[in-house]
C-alpha cells in the first residue's frame, strides 16, 4: 500500500510541469512547528494540557476531526460507523508518546511517509485546494483542519487509550 502511495506522489511531482495540474506552493502550518527526526512534536501547541472529553468529540464528530471515518476506536463505540482505512486506535496511548501523537496529528506524513491520513495542522502546499467542501478554489493559507486547541484535546484523549 505504501509503495503505491509513494509512486502516486512521484508521478504527480514528476509530471507537474507537463500538465500544470499539480502545482503547489510552499508547505506551511498554522504556527511554527519543530518536528523531531521521527516526526514527533514535543511542545504543546497551546502551552497547556488538552481536555480529553473534548478530544473524544474531535475524533467522533464528522464536522470536526472525523477520525473514526478511517479508524476503529472501541471507547467511541456509541458513535456509529467506524472505518477501516487506518489501524484501530485502541491502545495508542501505550504505543506512542504524547510528542509522537502530537506529531501524527500535526502532519502524519512526517511520521508515516506518504500516509493517507490528512495533515490536520497544515495550511499550505496543497494541489488545487478548495473552500471546505464547496468545490470552489481557495487561496492559501487555508484555516487548518483542526485548531491548536482541538489537536491538544485529541492528543489528551488518545493518551487515555491504554492497553488493558
Q: Decide: 158 and 152 in contact? Cβ < 8 Å.
A: no
In the region spanning residues 55 to 74, those forming contacts with other proteins, defined by CB under 8 A, are 62, 66, 68-70, 72, 74
Choices 44-52, 78-86, 95-103, 150-158; region in contact with other proteins by CB under 8 A: 78-86
Please tell me whether residue 8 binds other proteins under the rule CB under 8 A.
yes
Cα gap 60→96, rounded to integer Å: 20
- Residue 141 preceded by cis peptide, ω within 30: yes
Q: Which is nearer to other proteins, 21 or 36 (CB)?
A: 21
> Which of ligand HEC, other proteins, none interacts with 73 (beta carbon under 5 to 8 A by kind)?
none
Grid coordinates belonging to 102: 502530537
Q: Does 94 bind other proteins (CB under 8 A)?
A: no
Q: Which of ligand HEC, other proteins, none does 129 bind, CB closer than 5 to 8 A by kind?
A: other proteins
Residue 71: closest CA among 1, 161, 7, 142: 161
Amino acid at each position: 500500500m505504501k509503495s503505491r502511495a509513494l509512486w502516486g506522489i512521484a508521478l504527480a511531482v514528476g509530471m507537474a510541469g507537463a500538465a500544470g495540474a499539480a502545482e503547489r506552493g510552499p508547505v506551511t502550518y498554522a504556527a511554527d512547528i519543530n518536528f523531531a527526526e521521527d516526526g514527533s512534536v514535543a511542545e504543546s501547541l497551546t502551552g497547556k494540557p488538552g481536555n480529553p472529553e473534548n478530544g473524544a468529540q474531535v475524533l467522533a464528530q464528522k464536522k470536526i476531526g472525523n477520525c473514526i471515518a478511517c479508524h476503529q476506536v472501541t471507547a467511541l463505540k456509541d458513535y456509529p460507523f467506524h472505518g477501516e482505512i487506518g489501524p484501530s486506535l485502541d491502545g495508542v496511548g501505550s504505543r506512542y508518546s504524547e510528542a509522537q501523537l502530537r506529531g501524527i496529528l500535526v502532519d502524519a506524513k512526517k511520521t508515516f511517509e506518504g500516509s493517507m491520513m490528512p495533515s490536520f495542522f497544515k495550511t499550505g502546499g496543497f494541489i488545487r485546494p478548495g473552500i471546505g467542501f464547496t468545490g470552489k478554489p481557495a487561496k492559501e493559507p487555508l484555516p487548518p483542519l483542526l485548531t491548536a486547541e482541538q489537536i491538544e484535546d485529541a492528543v489528551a484523549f488518545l493518551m487515555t487509550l491504554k492497553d488493558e
